Amino acid sequence: MTDKPTAARLAILISGAGSNMVAIAQACRDGRIPAQVAVVISDQPAAGGLQRARDLGLPVAVVDAAGYRREGRLDRSHFEAELETQIRAHGADMVILAGFMRILSAPFVARHPGRMLNIHPSLLPLYPGLDTHSCVLAAGDPEHGVTVHFVTAELDGGPAIIQARVPVLPADDVAKLSARVHAAEHIIYPMAIQWLASGRLQWNDGRPTLDGSALAAPVRHV
């Protein structure tokens, strides 16, 4: 008799509206991702995504970054220790950053090798960091996009898994461009998580493979 593989348990970390979290939770629910959402954790008590998670009946936890400020700075080690406690307490074995607007330390990242993903609203390596939509508009780029990548200690620098491109249109402003990027995010993030949770995507000490072949460049969705 063979053991049935245990479904992955996701800790989804958010700071804001949580639209990616909703897309992922729905994909888990309808069986597109062989995983369940173990907990949704926010560093912001007012994050809109917390109520969306509660409305979906998902467990939620708040690790309020403001409560970990010492002399005007985030006490990162205590903040991250509480994050880790919540992840473990809910039995999560995969960490999904979905609009989580905090940099995580190298020791925290090292505790989840190949089990932590992030979505970033640009065609990495273009525009790491913040305000990517404004940067793209200011540069006059004809296209923009989104990347799902493994998280490593390098900010927005881990191996990229999948990218989607969107056009930049003449009448675009940040809101219009962001909406177009979000629509692409809601397609490719569940895909990447499905690959990892099903074992199609493997980490191999930082040399990812998809279906047994080296992932030398991200899959190009569109």
Catalytic residue numbers read: 120
Site string for ligand GAR, 163-192 (x = CB under 6 A): -------------------x--x-------
Which residue's beta carbon is nearest to the bound ligand GAR? 99
Among 12, 18, 87, 117, binds ligand GAR (CB under 6 A): 18
Shortest Cβ 25–ligand GAR spacing (Å):
11
Give CA 48 to chain center in angstroms. Answer: 17
Strands (E), 31-142: 35-42, 60-62, 69-70, 73-74, 94-97, 116-120
Tell me what percent of the chain is helix, strand and coil, each rounded to the nearest 5.
35, 25, 40
DSSP 65: G
Shortest Cβ 14–ligand GAR spacing (Å):
6
Nearer to ligand GAR, 29 or 182 (CB): 182
- Binding to ligand GAR by residue 120, rule CB under 6 A? yes
Q: Dihedral (C-alpha) 96, 217, 124, 188: value to the nearest 10 degrees?
A: -40
Pairing of strands 8-14, 60-62: unpaired
Shortest Cβ 126–ligand GAR spacing (Å):
13
Nearer to ligand GAR, 120 or 144 (CB): 120
Window of 55-63, 81-89, 103-111, 113-121 that interacts with ligand GAR by CB under 6 A: 113-121
Q: Which of 101, 74, 177 is nearest to 132 (CA)?
A: 177
Residues 6+ apart with CB under 8 A from 40: 11, 12, 13, 14, 18, 21, 49, 50, 53, 58, 59, 60, 61
- Binding to ligand GAR by residue 98, rule CB under 6 A? yes
Question: Rounded to 5 degrees, what are φ and ψ at 44?
Answer: -125, 115
Which token pair is 10? 């996701």
- Binding to ligand GAR by residue 119, rule CB under 6 A? yes
- Binding to ligand GAR by residue 121, rule CB under 6 A? yes
- Binding to ligand GAR by residue 16, rule CB under 6 A? yes
Q: Which of 97, 101, 98, 104 is nearest to 82 (CA)?
A: 104
Nearer to ligand GAR, 62 or 209 (CB): 62
Among 7, 9, 17, 221, binds ligand GAR (CB under 6 A): 17
Q: Which residues bind ligand GAR (CB under 6 A)?
A: 14, 16-20, 49, 98-99, 119-121, 182, 185
